Amino acid sequence: MTDPMLYAEWQNALIIAGVLVVAAATLLIMVWVSARRILRLAKTALGLVVQIKENTTAIWQLRATNDVAKKLLEDAESIEEHAGKVVRGLHENEEAA
């Protein structure tokens, strides 16, 4: 192989290597830009998740409120039942007297 041919081969290899390095660098930069965009969007989404959590806390508290209301209703119905028995007992005593 002559010197000019060797120089041409070396030059071709250098060009191919340069193209590969530029392509790899371009891909890495694109990945880096995409990662930064994903990070920015994730931070925004996290802020929205926190806001949604705060806005829906009242809904979860309604379940507890409903449970307390059901218990109060049961207790009120029990009181009504027992008060009715007391009233009937008093009426029976008045009639018997």
Predicted TM-score (pTM) of this structure: 0.52
User: What pLDDT, on the 0 to 100 scale, is given for residue 93?
Assistant: 76
Average pLDDT over residues 63-75: 93
C-alpha pair distances (Å), 41 with each of 48, 50, 53, 54? 11, 14, 18, 20
Q: Which two tokens stand for residue 55?
A: 């806005």
Q: Residue 50 above 70 pLDDT?
A: yes
d(C-alpha 80, C-alpha 74), whole Å: 10
Q: Where are the beta strands (DSSP E) in 1-97?
A: none
Query: Which pLDDT band, with edges at 50, 70 and 90, does 97 fall under?
Result: low
